[in-house]
Chains A and B, each alone.
Chain A
């Protein structure tokens, strides 16, 4: 089994509205297991666009994308959904928790969807993840009763529920204050160090990026620098 989690080959993307505009230019990228990588770049440089392509949510691109060694091209929508469910954990800028469900239920949803384990087991796992993030005491509350930082931690727990191959984050600290941002970084860092969790986080916060293993810098839809940092 190779150590490569995700591989992008020559990925290009065009926006056609209002005029055709190439937003991604021949992106080649390989993410190995256990790497905590960040994508840096200014607003509009295409870093989020790239993330959505890598996450299989955006299917209109040129080039090849391999996740866990499997080509994602010409897959049915249902198969891609399964890939996202099983292999990718998401953390967005906004938490996207469902207010109709309790915290624990929110965390459990992708797990129940995958149906690899029974509901009881998923619940036990969800508690485990919440515990890992230090918010197991909030499990039975509704998301709208939590603080912003807590919500984001619940969202991370949800991303972890199916033990994904990779966690992708789109500005996960973008909406948080300094203290909570720090907190989220600590969590990601711990996941990477202790659990060998691969992470790919899009951010425009240099302070955050500088502390990751690998910094991928993007300018105008192309990767301009790919810096692998020594362990601190």
Chain B
């Protein structure tokens, strides 16, 4: 009953000043629209850039670093166990960067519920031979199916079919840069020299384009078995185990755990790509700052318009008070006006923001560096919409609160006597 009365007064006041009310609401709409669009666009961009890394990088990578042993033989000796042993000029042992017992580790990992998938990898240093010229590069031996499933391998094979790597023996997918240098077409035979001096001929079945030119100039892919053949190793030989976990935030913790259990080195994605994280968070921060600034400006607009309305409607306020409306009622009337402007303007802003984001989502964006991207990326995160509407409500409430407070303090005697 009471709310109905107050709202009926509020709405009449708004209708009486429809133009200003509309202008205020449009201000809110505009700022929320821009807020949503900006954050969605920035979010999309962040996802795109992060995707370059996170989509293709393992969340945890197990490998063996060539490093000197922490414990020298003398430390293991019982006789000198209680002594301080000084060994100078320690050198790393000559051992392969192989992960021992890789089958068992992979098996354990596949049964870990926190792990989404496991993919083995072999990295081999090679020379690509083009005529009389050799240039250095690396060949990754991969489990084609696992790599495609976990790291969207398929998306980056721009020419040729990725599955041929598995089906054709002795095949290779060259980095785009490598292929350009070697002038190798699909179906051509190329020759590489392994670090052990072996010369091997491989069939080109595709090109690979990661978007990072430096990588494309060096890297190529073969199947696991081909890589093992190149290195003349058994089929147990694996240098890296790539793990995708279910929750990205868990990666650092799991990396530590696996390093301890499996006695290998382990690195998590956050540590390996710290600079990307920083870039994303700064970009997000900037877009929030701009969006919130827009909202505050809209808030000032509402503040002004309400102040003007109160000045114009002093008579109304006075008579309402004289006939029994309390200061609180008057305050509620003006806060309701402000909130109506805020909520209506805000909801429209969400709608327009969504529409504008969809339009941007359709704008073509073609770059050689990102073969899978055809249009600008947009992140339709509901979080942005919730923040937008909550913030518009808070801003308009504050913008309405101070003029409303002023109206509630208005002394009717002064106005009525002033006539």
Identify the A interface with B (CB < 8 A).
48, 52, 55, 57-58, 77-78, 81-82, 84-86, 90, 92-94, 96-101, 109-110, 112-115, 119, 158, 170
Whether the pair B13, A100 counts as a contact (CB closer than 8 A) is yes
CB distance from B309 to the nearest CB of A (A): 12
Identify the B interface with A (CB < 8 A).
1-2, 5, 9, 12-13, 15-16, 315-316, 318-329, 412-413, 416-417, 419
- Complex Cα distance A93/B25, Å? 37
Whether the pair B315, A110 counts as a contact (CB closer than 8 A) is no
Rank and list the top 7 A-B pairs by shortest CB-CB distance, nearest first. Answer: A85-B324, A100-B12, A81-B326, A96-B319, A110-B323, A78-B326, A100-B16
CB distance from A78 to the nearest CB of B (A): 4
Residues from chain A with Cβ under 8 Å of B5 in the complex: 109, 112-113, 115
Whether the pair A90, B12 counts as a contact (CB closer than 8 A) is no
Residues from chain A with Cβ under 8 Å of B412 in the complex: 57
Known: A48-B417, A57-B413, A99-B16. A90 touches B322 (CB 8 A): yes
CB distance from A173 to the nearest CB of B (A): 15
Whether the pair A85, B323 counts as a contact (CB closer than 8 A) is yes
Question: Which of chain B's residues has its CB closest to A86's CB?
Answer: B324
Question: Which of chain A's residues has its CB closest to B2's CB?
Answer: A115
Question: Which of chain A's residues has its CB closest to B326's CB?
Answer: A81
Q: List 13 A-B contacts (CB under 8 A).
A: A52-B417, A55-B322, A57-B412, A57-B413, A81-B321, A81-B327, A82-B326, A84-B324, A96-B322, A97-B319, A100-B16, A112-B5, A113-B324
- Complex Cα distance A100/B327, Å? 20
CB distance from B275 to the nearest CB of A (A): 60
Known: A81-B321, A100-B15. A92 touches B416 (CB 8 A): yes
Question: Which of chain B's residues has its CB closest to A98's CB?
Answer: B316
Whether the pair B16, A77 counts as a contact (CB closer than 8 A) is no
Residues from chain A with Cβ under 8 Å of B327 in the complex: 77-78, 81
Between A and B, how many residue pairs show CB distances below 8 Å?
75
Known: A48-B417, A170-B416. A96 touches B324 (CB 8 A): no
Whether the pair B12, A98 counts as a contact (CB closer than 8 A) is yes
CB distance from B325 to the nearest CB of A (A): 6
Whether the pair B322, A57 counts as a contact (CB closer than 8 A) is yes
- Complex Cα distance A58/B415, Å? 12
- Complex Cα distance A101/B9, Å? 9
Whether the pair B324, A110 counts as a contact (CB closer than 8 A) is yes
Quick one: which of A52, A55, A81, A86 contacts B325, CB cutoff 8 A?
A: A81
CB distance from B210 to the nearest CB of A (A): 66
Whether the pair A93, B319 counts as a contact (CB closer than 8 A) is no
Quick one: which of B2, B319, B416, B417 contacts A98, CB cutoff 8 A?
A: B319
Residues from chain A with Cβ under 8 Å of B12 in the complex: 98, 100-101
Known: A57-B412, A113-B5. A93 touches B324 (CB 8 A): no
Residues from chain A with Cβ under 8 Å of B16 in the complex: 99-100
- Complex Cα distance A207/B99, Å? 114
Starting from the known contacts A112-B1, A112-B5, 15 additional A-B residue pairs (CB-CB under 8 Å) come to A48-B417, A52-B416, A55-B322, A57-B412, A58-B413, A77-B326, A78-B328, A81-B324, A81-B329, A90-B323, A96-B416, A98-B319, A113-B323, A113-B324, A115-B2
Question: Which of chain A's residues has its CB closest to B416's CB?
Answer: A92
Whether the pair A96, B321 counts as a contact (CB closer than 8 A) is no
CB distance from B353 to the nearest CB of A (A): 33
Residues from chain A with Cβ under 8 Å of B322 in the complex: 55, 57, 84, 90, 92, 96
CB distance from A118 to the nearest CB of B (A): 9
Known: A58-B413, A115-B2. A96 touches B325 (CB 8 A): no
Residues from chain A with Cβ under 8 Å of B325 in the complex: 81, 85, 113
Question: Which of chain A's residues has its CB closest to B322's CB?
Answer: A90
- Complex Cα distance A207/B416, Å? 24
CB distance from A203 to the nearest CB of B (A): 15
Residues from chain A with Cβ under 8 Å of B417 in the complex: 48, 52
Residues from chain B with Cβ under 8 Å of A78 in the complex: 326-328
Question: Which of chain B's residues has its CB closest to A94's CB?
Answer: B419
Residues from chain B with Cβ under 8 Å of A58 in the complex: 413
Residues from chain B with Cβ under 8 Å of A82 in the complex: 324, 326
Whether the pair B13, A84 counts as a contact (CB closer than 8 A) is no
CB distance from B119 to the nearest CB of A (A): 71
- Complex Cα distance A55/B319, Å? 13
Residues from chain B with Cβ under 8 Å of A113 in the complex: 5, 323-325, 329
Whether the pair B323, A84 counts as a contact (CB closer than 8 A) is yes
CB distance from B303 to the nearest CB of A (A): 22
Residues from chain B with Cβ under 8 Å of A99 in the complex: 16
- Complex Cα distance A52/B413, Å? 7
CB distance from A25 to the nearest CB of B (A): 19
CB distance from A94 to the nearest CB of B (A): 5
- Complex Cα distance A148/B374, Å? 71
CB distance from B20 to the nearest CB of A (A): 14
Residues from chain A with Cβ under 8 Å of B319 in the complex: 96-98
CB distance from B21 to the nearest CB of A (A): 13
CB distance from B168 to the nearest CB of A (A): 82
Quick one: which of B318, B321, B323 contacts A109, CB cutoff 8 A?
A: B323
Question: Which of chain B's residues has its CB closest to A168's CB?
Answer: B322
Question: Which of chain B's residues has its CB closest to A52's CB?
Answer: B413
